[in-house]
């Protein structure tokens, strides 16, 4: 769903520093936002609000199993 805002825990597609697009769980922190990967082996990304632009919120996932 195309939107520029999200609430804590939503999966978002976001643009980081106008360079990199990523899919992460979104959390509001005291000093900005935390982007939490689904992979527990990866570290979260902490950013200032102005470094992140939300492009949309994930509303569903379609998977193909052959």
The rounded distance, in Å, linking the Cα atoms of 13 and 16 is 10
Burial (Cβ within 10 Å: 0-12, 13-18, ≥19) of residue 14: buried
pLDDT higher than 90, residue 62: no
**pLDDT, tens digit, for every residue of 21-60?**
999 999 999 999 999 999 999 999 999 999 999 999 998 8
Write down the domain spans for the chain: 1-40
**pLDDT at residue number 5:** 87
Tokens linked to 36: 């939490």
Q: The whole model's pTM is what?
A: 0.85
């Amino acid at each position: 769903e195309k939107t520029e805002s999200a609430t804590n825990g939503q999966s978002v597609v976001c643009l980081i520093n106008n360079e990199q697009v990523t899919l992460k769980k979104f959390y509001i922190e005291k000093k900005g936002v935390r982007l939490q990967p689904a992979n527990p082996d990866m570290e979260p990304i902490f950013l200032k609000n102005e470094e992140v632009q939300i492009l949309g919120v994930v509303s569903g996932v379609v998977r193909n199993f052959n």
